[in-house]
Structure 1
Amino acid sequence: MNPPLKTVTVTIGKQSIVAEVADTPETRETGLMNRGNLPDNKGMLFVFQDSQPHCMWMKNTPNDLDVAFADAEGQILNVENMKAETLDIHCAKGFSVYALEMRSGWFKDHKVKRGDFMDIKKPR
Structure 2
Amino acid sequence: MKFKFYKLILCLFLLCSFSCEGKKLETKDLLLTNSEGTRITINTELAKTEAEQSYGFMNRKNIPEGTGMLFIFTEDKIASFWMKNTPTPLSIAYIDYSGRIKDIFDMTPFSLSPVVSTGYVRYALEVPQGWFSKVGITVGDYLDLTKLKD
Same fold (TM over 0.5): yes
SS in 2 for 1:29: helix
| 1:33-67 CA-partner distances (Å, limit 9, x unpaired) | 00122111111000111101111110000010000
Unaligned runs of 5+ in 1: none
SS in 1 for 2:24: coil
* Structure 2 partner of 1:22: 47
Shift of 1:123: 7.6
Q: Which TM-score applies when normalising by structure 1? A: 0.94
Partner residue of 1:69 out of 85, 94, 98:
94
Greater Cα shift, 85-94 or 57-66: 85-94
Partner residue of 2:138 out of 97, 113, 121:
113
Matched residue count: 124
* Structure 2 partner of 1:49: 74
SS in 1 for 2:53: helix
Higher helix share: 2
Q: What is the root-mean-square deviation in Å for CA atoms of aligned residues?
A: 1.4
Unaligned runs of 5+ in 2: 1-17, 34-38
Q: Which has the higher contact order (CA 8 A, sep 6+)?
A: 1
Higher alpha-carbon Rg? 2
Q: Which TM-score applies when normalising by structure 2? A: 0.78
Runs of 4+ in 1 over 6 A off after TM superposition: none
* Structure 1 partner of 2:31: 11
Instruction: Give me the whole-angstrom Cα distance separating, in 2, the residues matched to 1:107 and 1:78.
Output: 11
Instruction: Give me the whole-angstrom Cα distance separating, in 1, the residues matched to 2:96 and 2:55.
Output: 22
Instruction: Give me the whole-angstrom Cα distance separating, in 2, the residues matched to 1:92 and 1:6.
Output: 25
Shift of 1:114: 1.0
